[in-house]
Homo-oligomer: A and B are copies of this chain.
């Protein structure tokens, strides 16, 4: 088991490896506990919950990003009130990114903040969303537009949960792993050397700890995304988010892969990286996503991107592009130019 500390205003302890989830009962001994989970996870881990946290109140929400909204948030808060949680109570978010984002938000808002503990059950959540304290709901067609920065006190990343994940969910987590590889040359190399093990759970558990360590460092330097350092984590996300909101259906991680793939061409054409490096990034992406889909009318997704909170003046679109091994560059494109790129790169003419 690896222990990683995220050094923020309210430090988080992340435990990665087999047995991490068993720490739950020890950490929360004699605490009042509220478990948030979704119907899929509950079906699989109902026994785990009642064994490790026998006295907890449990709230089960509908699964899926489309429920990451105001309505579900207040459903959760109402359940917390019914459970008569107090300021010393804890919320355990047991699930994927949606449960983690909403659980974190509910924990940060309830009585101005109770203890939050993340138990991410998907690869995506283990490798990325459970660490760093970003909480959110989607609203008015904009992803994560409402949220807080609120550090969980503990994050327990246990590979046990990956065993019950459908392969598509693994691909989804690979989206953020491959993004991290484009930002950190050691992770890049490790993945290249283990390309054939990319769906192997032991390898994934190992690389998860590497990705968490990378993210912990960035978050420790820029907790609330003010200094600009944390921005790098948005590689592939501007286009990914925009397509996700416009077209739905696929998962966040898949859209990150698609976003990175499309943006690698922009990076190349804008002279941010060489053709060769862009090709390397695309090979990396193709380890997880063999076939990038086409999108009709993709320029309309650009309109969505402008509303994204990453784009500070509302006129330009900010892209975090691959530059070379372990390096990135932020590029601002006018909305018109970005529209043309999206249309050309993701449309049928590609």
Which A residues have a C-beta under 8 Å from some C-beta of B?
Answer: 9, 70, 74, 77-78, 81, 84, 86-88, 108-113, 134-136, 139-140, 142, 144-149, 224-225, 307, 309, 311-314
Contacts and interface: CB of A to CB of B under 8 A. Distances in A.
15 contacts: A9-B9, A77-B139, A77-B146, A81-B142, A84-B307, A84-B314, A86-B312, A86-B314, A87-B225, A87-B309, A87-B312, A88-B312, A88-B313, A109-B147, A112-B135
Contacts of A139: 74, 77, 81
Contacts of A78: 140
Given A70-B74, A81-B145, A112-B147, 14 more contacts: A77-B146, A81-B140, A86-B309, A88-B313, A108-B148, A109-B146, A109-B147, A110-B145, A111-B145, A111-B147, A112-B134, A112-B136, A112-B225, A148-B148
Contacts of A148: 108-109, 112-113, 148
B77 A112 contact: no
A142 B112 CA distance: 13
Main secondary structure of the interface of A (DSSP, over half): mixed
Given A87-B309, A314-B86, A224 B113 contact: yes
A226 to B, nearest CB: 9
* A74, A108, A110, A112: most-surrounded residue (chain B CB, <10 A): A112
A110 to B, nearest CB: 7
Q: Which 9 A-B pairs have the closest CB atoms?
A: A111-B309, A112-B147, A86-B312, A109-B146, A84-B314, A88-B312, A81-B140, A9-B9, A87-B312
A203 B86 CA distance: 40
B74 A110 contact: no
Given A74-B70, A78-B140, A113 B314 contact: no
A334 B78 CA distance: 25
A110 B149 CA distance: 11
B87 A149 contact: no
